[in-house]
Structure 1
Amino acid sequence: MIVWFTGRPAAGKTTVATAVVERLQAQGRSAQLLDGDVLRREISQDLGFSRADRDEQVRRAAMAARALADTGVVAVVALVSPFREARAHARALCAPHAFLEVYVDAPLDVAEARDPKGLYRRARRGEIAEFTGIDSPYETPESPDLRLDAAALPPASLTDEVMQRLR
């Protein structure tokens, strides 16, 4: 199975995805996190933030997730993946495995207020080009398998929602 977390930067994707992996492992399930920031540093160093590069990042993450799922590991992906078409392509690439798209919904003002890495501030000052939510769009999923209200609920409650859905 692949659990694909999508949402704006600083929405809480990695926080919830990490907790899901920990809970799955505590249940004796083999699970692995594929985090967008880590993937950028390791297998996607050659990519920028153009639409084509973002789509390639999603493709690479999907291929890695499928490879994990092929071996019986639950692949948990935390990746902005801002474009609907790329997310649909990821789902198709991961077939025949079950694919759960989880939209971590944090409005722009909430994500900006969190901003643990200072990325929104830097983007607003013009230091980061093509930043999702500022000068590059985030296309909200039209019908995600699960929508998490990250503005209203704490990470533990969001994790509970995902785990309930996985049961």
Structure 2
Amino acid sequence: MALTYELDPSTGPDLAAGVVSLWADVTNAGGAVGFVPPVTAEDVRPRWIGHLAAMADGGMRLLVGRDEEGAVAATAFLARNTHPLMTHWIWAYTVMVHPRHQGRGHGRELMARVEEAARGMDGVEAVRLTCRGGTGADRFYAACGYKEVGRVPGAIRVAEGDDRDDVIMLLPLL
């Protein structure tokens, strides 16, 4: 089953509910997407609202993948860098594939769509993202063409006594 992708979908209650639900489900399945399980939709909603505000201001774009039933099954947020010396690359944030859709190549497809979207943005020469060490995400992104360009040891505190590296990865587009 293929996912159908859309860049910059219309926002509304259905999209909000779908993204927030996806975010909570991915977190609760052990995904490293800014929270530590357990979380509820209400825990995630403020982060969605922040992303929504950035989208409304034009500083962030949403790439959403939907399954055959129309449910939100994958997301990636693409954020323009606001530092005047760094506008030639963008951030990829909150890259997620629903656990029930994992293991079928949807993550690689999502990252290919991220690259395609970035190539369509004026002046963008690279995509940068960070991931939590110890999850295997760095190996996944490397398999998608990203290169590790930095690592901050112990920067992410998952729990007392459980600090993880913040791994910085870059996909050059030129």
TM-score scaled by length of structure 1: 0.33
Greater RCO structure (CA 8 Å; 6+ sep): 1
Structure 1 or 2: larger helix share?
A: 1
TM-score scaled by length of structure 2: 0.32
